[in-house]
Amino acid sequence: LHPFADSWRQSRYSRPPGDVIGTGAKSEGSSGEMGWRRALQATLLRRAGYRVQPWANGLGVTREIAISTTDWSLQQPPDSDNNHSAGAQPTEASEGSCPNQGTAAPFLWRVSMADLAAPGGAFSMLPSVDRVLTLLQGEGVTLAVGTAPPSPLSLHTPFAFPGDVPCHCVVTSPTGLDLNLMVDRGRCEGSVTLLGPSDPPIRLAEPSNPAVAFAFALDSNVAVHTRAIAPNGPENTARGAESEGTGSEWVESEPLGPEDTALYSVASGEHPEVRLKVTGGRALVGLIQPRSSPS
Protein backbone atom coordinates (compact mmCIF):
# COMPACT_ATOMS: atom_id res chain seq x y z
CA LEU A 1 0.00 0.00 0.00
CA HIS A 2 1.07 3.57 -0.61
CA PRO A 3 2.60 5.11 2.55
CA PHE A 4 0.24 8.03 2.21
CA ALA A 5 -2.72 5.65 2.52
CA ASP A 6 -1.04 3.96 5.48
CA SER A 7 -0.91 7.29 7.26
CA TRP A 8 -4.70 7.54 7.14
CA ARG A 9 -5.09 4.45 9.27
CA GLN A 10 -2.62 5.88 11.76
CA SER A 11 -4.48 9.17 12.08
CA ARG A 12 -6.15 10.18 15.31
CA TYR A 13 -9.69 11.56 15.19
CA SER A 14 -12.36 12.62 17.59
CA ARG A 15 -14.11 9.38 16.52
CA PRO A 16 -12.91 6.45 14.40
CA PRO A 17 -13.21 6.66 10.60
CA GLY A 18 -16.17 4.81 9.17
CA ASP A 19 -17.90 4.06 5.92
CA VAL A 20 -19.27 6.76 3.64
CA ILE A 21 -21.45 9.05 5.75
CA GLY A 22 -24.85 9.08 4.14
CA THR A 23 -27.03 6.81 2.07
CA GLY A 24 -27.72 6.12 -1.56
CA ALA A 25 -24.26 5.02 -2.70
CA LYS A 26 -24.26 2.89 -5.82
CA SER A 27 -21.37 1.65 -7.95
CA GLU A 28 -21.92 1.39 -11.67
CA GLY A 29 -20.07 0.72 -14.88
CA SER A 30 -16.40 -0.23 -14.89
CA SER A 31 -15.87 0.79 -11.25
CA GLY A 32 -17.39 -2.61 -10.30
CA GLU A 33 -18.98 -3.83 -7.11
CA MET A 34 -16.05 -2.91 -4.85
CA GLY A 35 -15.89 0.43 -6.66
CA TRP A 36 -15.30 3.57 -4.75
CA ARG A 37 -17.23 2.56 -1.62
CA ARG A 38 -14.28 0.47 -0.47
CA ALA A 39 -11.71 3.02 -1.64
CA LEU A 40 -13.40 5.94 0.13
CA GLN A 41 -13.66 6.24 3.89
CA ALA A 42 -15.35 9.09 5.68
CA THR A 43 -16.17 10.24 9.16
CA LEU A 44 -18.20 13.09 10.62
CA LEU A 45 -16.43 15.20 13.25
CA ARG A 46 -18.54 17.47 15.45
CA ARG A 47 -17.06 20.65 16.86
CA ALA A 48 -17.90 19.59 20.41
CA GLY A 49 -15.61 16.59 20.01
CA TYR A 50 -12.47 18.43 18.90
CA ARG A 51 -9.55 18.06 21.27
CA VAL A 52 -8.94 21.36 23.08
CA GLN A 53 -5.29 22.22 23.74
CA PRO A 54 -4.63 25.32 25.90
CA TRP A 55 -1.65 27.36 24.79
CA ALA A 56 1.47 27.27 26.91
CA ASN A 57 1.17 31.06 27.38
CA GLY A 58 -2.43 30.76 28.59
CA LEU A 59 -3.75 33.28 26.06
CA GLY A 60 -5.73 30.98 23.80
CA VAL A 61 -6.54 27.44 22.73
CA THR A 62 -6.16 25.22 19.70
CA ARG A 63 -8.92 22.78 18.73
CA GLU A 64 -7.38 19.86 16.92
CA ILE A 65 -9.66 18.45 14.24
CA ALA A 66 -7.44 15.72 12.78
CA ILE A 67 -3.77 14.82 12.56
CA SER A 68 -1.77 12.11 10.82
CA THR A 69 1.78 10.88 11.28
CA THR A 70 3.52 7.67 10.26
CA ASP A 71 6.00 7.94 13.12
CA TRP A 72 4.53 7.04 16.52
CA SER A 73 7.76 8.00 18.26
CA LEU A 74 7.01 11.67 17.71
CA GLN A 75 6.05 13.87 20.63
CA GLN A 76 2.43 14.75 21.34
CA PRO A 77 0.97 17.33 18.92
CA PRO A 78 1.91 20.95 19.61
CA ASP A 79 -0.26 22.97 21.94
CA SER A 80 -0.74 26.03 19.75
CA ASP A 81 -1.10 26.93 16.12
CA ASN A 82 -0.63 30.64 16.79
CA ASN A 83 1.67 31.10 19.78
CA HIS A 84 1.87 34.80 19.09
CA SER A 85 1.33 37.02 22.10
CA ALA A 86 3.72 39.86 22.85
CA GLY A 87 6.75 38.45 24.61
CA ALA A 88 5.65 34.83 24.21
CA GLN A 89 8.48 32.37 23.65
CA PRO A 90 8.08 28.90 22.12
CA THR A 91 8.31 26.11 24.67
CA GLU A 92 8.28 22.31 24.41
CA ALA A 93 4.49 22.53 24.61
CA SER A 94 4.25 24.90 21.66
CA GLU A 95 4.25 24.37 17.94
CA GLY A 96 7.72 25.80 17.64
CA SER A 97 9.22 22.81 19.41
CA CYS A 98 9.84 19.43 17.85
CA PRO A 99 12.32 17.66 20.13
CA ASN A 100 14.88 15.37 18.48
CA GLN A 101 13.37 15.80 15.03
CA GLY A 102 15.94 18.14 13.46
CA THR A 103 14.40 19.66 10.35
CA ALA A 104 11.64 17.06 9.97
CA ALA A 105 8.00 18.10 10.16
CA PRO A 106 6.29 16.85 13.35
CA PHE A 107 3.35 15.40 11.37
CA LEU A 108 2.32 14.37 7.88
CA TRP A 109 -0.70 16.69 7.94
CA ARG A 110 -2.78 18.46 10.57
CA VAL A 111 -6.09 20.34 10.56
CA SER A 112 -7.05 22.56 13.49
CA MET A 113 -8.76 25.73 14.64
CA ALA A 114 -6.89 28.28 16.71
CA ASP A 115 -7.66 31.47 18.59
CA LEU A 116 -6.18 34.79 17.52
CA ALA A 117 -5.12 36.98 20.44
CA ALA A 118 -4.61 40.75 20.13
CA PRO A 119 -2.26 42.44 19.56
CA GLY A 120 -0.62 39.54 17.77
CA GLY A 121 3.05 38.70 17.52
CA ALA A 122 5.41 36.16 15.97
CA PHE A 123 4.20 32.73 14.91
CA SER A 124 6.22 29.75 16.06
CA MET A 125 8.59 28.31 13.45
CA LEU A 126 7.58 24.95 11.97
CA PRO A 127 10.43 23.30 10.04
CA SER A 128 9.50 21.70 6.70
CA VAL A 129 5.83 22.64 7.08
CA ASP A 130 3.62 24.45 4.58
CA ARG A 131 0.56 26.19 6.03
CA VAL A 132 -2.80 27.41 4.75
CA LEU A 133 -4.50 29.74 7.22
CA THR A 134 -8.11 30.87 6.75
CA LEU A 135 -9.60 33.62 8.90
CA LEU A 136 -12.93 32.58 10.46
CA GLN A 137 -13.48 35.47 12.87
CA GLY A 138 -11.76 38.78 13.53
CA GLU A 139 -10.98 42.08 11.86
CA GLY A 140 -7.83 43.94 10.99
CA VAL A 141 -5.70 40.78 10.84
CA THR A 142 -2.49 40.93 8.81
CA LEU A 143 0.38 38.51 8.25
CA ALA A 144 3.90 39.57 7.33
CA VAL A 145 5.82 36.57 6.00
CA GLY A 146 9.59 36.90 5.68
CA THR A 147 10.54 40.22 4.11
CA ALA A 148 7.20 40.64 2.30
CA PRO A 149 4.92 43.53 3.29
CA PRO A 150 1.99 42.68 5.59
CA SER A 151 -0.92 40.96 3.85
CA PRO A 152 -4.44 41.73 5.13
CA LEU A 153 -6.54 38.61 5.68
CA SER A 154 -10.15 38.49 4.54
CA LEU A 155 -12.78 36.23 6.07
CA HIS A 156 -12.93 32.76 4.51
CA THR A 157 -10.08 33.51 2.08
CA PRO A 158 -7.25 30.97 2.40
CA PHE A 159 -3.71 32.31 2.77
CA ALA A 160 -0.80 29.96 2.05
CA PHE A 161 2.70 30.47 3.44
CA PRO A 162 5.73 28.45 4.58
CA GLY A 163 5.78 27.63 8.27
CA ASP A 164 9.56 27.79 8.54
CA VAL A 165 9.87 31.44 7.51
CA PRO A 166 9.51 34.19 10.15
CA CYS A 167 5.88 35.32 10.24
CA HIS A 168 4.44 38.20 12.25
CA CYS A 169 0.69 38.52 12.86
CA VAL A 170 -1.17 41.70 13.80
CA VAL A 171 -4.67 41.41 15.29
CA THR A 172 -6.59 44.65 15.89
CA SER A 173 -9.89 43.08 16.99
CA PRO A 174 -10.05 41.82 20.61
CA THR A 175 -10.25 38.19 19.50
CA GLY A 176 -10.28 36.09 16.36
CA LEU A 177 -10.34 32.54 15.07
CA ASP A 178 -8.69 30.75 12.17
CA LEU A 179 -8.60 27.38 10.45
CA ASN A 180 -5.16 25.87 9.88
CA LEU A 181 -4.09 23.22 7.40
CA MET A 182 -0.46 22.18 7.83
CA VAL A 183 1.40 19.61 5.73
CA ASP A 184 4.87 18.11 5.64
CA ARG A 185 6.30 19.82 2.57
CA GLY A 186 8.53 16.89 1.70
CA ARG A 187 5.79 14.27 1.68
CA CYS A 188 2.54 15.96 0.65
CA GLU A 189 0.91 19.17 -0.52
CA GLY A 190 -2.31 20.80 0.59
CA SER A 191 -4.79 23.44 -0.52
CA VAL A 192 -8.01 24.98 0.80
CA THR A 193 -10.92 26.30 -1.28
CA LEU A 194 -14.13 28.09 -0.33
CA LEU A 195 -16.98 26.05 -1.83
CA GLY A 196 -20.64 27.06 -1.99
CA PRO A 197 -23.86 25.43 -3.24
CA SER A 198 -23.64 27.24 -6.57
CA ASP A 199 -20.05 26.17 -7.24
CA PRO A 200 -19.32 23.16 -9.47
CA PRO A 201 -17.99 19.97 -7.86
CA ILE A 202 -14.28 19.77 -7.23
CA ARG A 203 -11.99 16.83 -7.91
CA LEU A 204 -11.20 15.08 -4.65
CA ALA A 205 -8.91 12.41 -6.09
CA GLU A 206 -7.48 11.36 -9.41
CA PRO A 207 -8.12 7.78 -10.53
CA SER A 208 -6.12 5.27 -8.43
CA ASN A 209 -4.30 8.00 -6.44
CA PRO A 210 -4.61 8.40 -2.65
CA ALA A 211 -5.90 11.61 -1.12
CA VAL A 212 -7.36 13.09 2.05
CA ALA A 213 -10.01 15.80 2.01
CA PHE A 214 -12.07 17.68 4.55
CA ALA A 215 -15.13 19.91 4.36
CA PHE A 216 -15.32 22.39 7.23
CA ALA A 217 -18.83 23.86 7.45
CA LEU A 218 -19.23 27.63 7.70
CA ASP A 219 -23.03 27.62 7.85
CA SER A 220 -25.83 25.52 9.34
CA ASN A 221 -27.26 22.47 7.55
CA VAL A 222 -24.37 22.01 5.14
CA ALA A 223 -24.44 18.65 3.33
CA VAL A 224 -21.37 17.22 1.62
CA HIS A 225 -21.88 15.07 -1.49
CA THR A 226 -19.35 12.70 -3.05
CA ARG A 227 -19.55 10.90 -6.36
CA ALA A 228 -17.38 8.52 -8.35
CA ILE A 229 -16.85 9.18 -12.05
CA ALA A 230 -16.30 6.08 -14.17
CA PRO A 231 -13.00 5.97 -16.09
CA ASN A 232 -13.34 7.31 -19.63
CA GLY A 233 -16.91 8.42 -18.90
CA PRO A 234 -18.27 11.68 -20.34
CA GLU A 235 -17.85 13.48 -16.99
CA ASN A 236 -14.18 12.63 -16.97
CA THR A 237 -13.60 14.81 -20.02
CA ALA A 238 -14.63 18.10 -18.34
CA ARG A 239 -13.12 18.69 -14.92
CA GLY A 240 -15.62 20.25 -12.51
CA ALA A 241 -18.56 20.11 -14.94
CA GLU A 242 -21.71 18.20 -14.04
CA SER A 243 -23.30 16.08 -16.75
CA GLU A 244 -25.20 12.80 -17.08
CA GLY A 245 -22.12 10.64 -17.62
CA THR A 246 -21.52 7.19 -16.21
CA GLY A 247 -20.81 7.10 -12.50
CA SER A 248 -22.24 6.50 -9.07
CA GLU A 249 -25.09 8.40 -7.48
CA TRP A 250 -24.21 11.33 -5.26
CA VAL A 251 -23.80 10.27 -1.62
CA GLU A 252 -25.01 12.90 0.83
CA SER A 253 -23.57 13.32 4.32
CA GLU A 254 -25.51 14.00 7.46
CA PRO A 255 -26.10 17.76 7.93
CA LEU A 256 -23.11 19.66 9.30
CA GLY A 257 -23.43 22.54 11.73
CA PRO A 258 -21.06 25.51 11.83
CA GLU A 259 -17.46 24.34 12.37
CA ASP A 260 -18.33 20.63 12.01
CA THR A 261 -16.08 18.70 9.63
CA ALA A 262 -16.61 15.85 7.17
CA LEU A 263 -13.29 14.06 6.68
CA TYR A 264 -12.59 11.80 3.69
CA SER A 265 -9.80 9.46 2.64
CA VAL A 266 -9.33 7.85 -0.74
CA ALA A 267 -6.91 4.92 -0.57
CA SER A 268 -4.47 4.14 -3.35
CA GLY A 269 -5.44 1.34 -5.69
CA GLU A 270 -8.13 0.70 -8.26
CA HIS A 271 -10.77 3.41 -8.01
CA PRO A 272 -12.23 6.04 -10.33
CA GLU A 273 -12.03 9.78 -10.03
CA VAL A 274 -13.95 11.09 -7.01
CA ARG A 275 -15.68 14.48 -6.86
CA LEU A 276 -17.18 16.50 -4.04
CA LYS A 277 -19.79 19.27 -3.79
CA VAL A 278 -21.79 20.97 -1.02
CA THR A 279 -25.41 22.03 -0.63
CA GLY A 280 -27.26 24.04 1.99
CA GLY A 281 -24.38 26.37 2.81
CA ARG A 282 -20.69 27.08 2.41
CA ALA A 283 -17.69 25.02 3.44
CA LEU A 284 -13.92 25.30 3.38
CA VAL A 285 -12.71 22.26 1.48
CA GLY A 286 -9.15 21.09 2.00
CA LEU A 287 -7.30 18.66 -0.26
CA ILE A 288 -4.16 16.81 0.84
CA GLN A 289 -2.26 14.72 -1.70
CA PRO A 290 1.12 13.00 -1.76
CA ARG A 291 3.85 15.07 -3.36
CA SER A 292 4.84 13.58 -6.69
CA SER A 293 8.51 14.40 -6.19
CA PRO A 294 10.53 15.57 -3.15
CA SER A 295 10.66 19.32 -2.68
Positive or negative torsion for Cα 203, 207, 211, 212: positive
C-alpha 31/C-alpha 37 separation (Å) is 10
Higher pLDDT pick, 43 / 56: 43
**In whole angstroms, how far apart are CA 85 and each of 80, 82, 127, 181?**
11, 9, 20, 21
The mean per-residue pLDDT over the stretch 199-217 comes to 86
Per-residue pLDDT, 151: 95
Identify the residue with better confidence: 233 or 52. 52
CA angle 3, 211, 202 (to 5 degrees): 170
Q: Which of 67, 115, 106 is nearest to 261 (CA)?
A: 67
Highest mean pLDDT among 216-220, 249-253, 263-267: 216-220
Phi/psi of residue 223, nearest 5 degrees: -115, 135
Dump pLDDT digits (tens) for 129-176.
999 999 999 999 999 999 999 999 999 999 999 999 999 999 999 889
**pLDDT band at residue 228 using 50, 70 and 90 as cut-offs:** confident
